[in-house]
Amino acid sequence: MAFPLNNMIFLLAFFFLLNESPFVRTIATSLDDVCRRSLDLAFFLADFGSNPITRMASLPLLAHIAIDRAGVNATAARAKIHLLFHTTMDPRIKALLGQCGNSYTEALNVIGKATDDLDHRNYWQAFDAAERCENLFKSPLKSPVTIENQNFGLICDIIGIIADELSSGRKRKLA
């Protein structure tokens, strides 16, 4: 049985793209580099590694995806803090939750500008919101938003790694 020429050309092109394309290899390396440097490999893989878009994304696109995820995460954390603020009866916890809510409001403002500020490293101000919120709750008080703070911090770390990768890539191009 003869193999149609069109199919053969398609298969050859497909195998070339998979095995020899520097573009595909560069993209995979970008995601791999960010993955290797992340603070929590399991979190990174669950959040970024399972999405087919992120697996093939360039670093600038990964930055946008991470910034969007940080915004979603911060919005959810702020909503939980707001709910807890209105349902708690303890005035000490209520005051601390109010401060946490303010920190996340500031973080959302920073995240809104993060795409423009990748070069200026201002995204770290957003990370400070999670840390400030968590540090407000000292023993014996336990933070009711520890998981949200940790996840937000991990996403901000990923943004930092991507910004570093983008910055080092620009330096290599200039050299």
All structural domains of the chain, each given as residue ranges with its CATH number in brackets, are: 27-174 (1.20.140.40)
At residue 119, the pLDDT reads: 59
- Would you tell me how many other CB atoms lie within 10 Å of the CB of residue 169? 14
In this prediction, residue 87 carries a pLDDT of 97
Provide the pLDDT for residue 124: 64
pLDDT at position 13:
42
Angle between helices 146-174 and 124-136 (to 10 degrees): 160
Give the C-alpha separation, 55 to 64, whole Å: 14
Q: List Cα–Cα distances, 145 to 60, 75, 80, 91, 150, in angstroms.
A: 30, 13, 8, 17, 9
Those residues of the chain that have pLDDT short of 50 are 1, 3, 5-28, 171-175
pLDDT for res 169: 63
Q: At 84, phi and psi to the nearest 5?
A: -65, -40
Residue with tokens 């930092």: 160
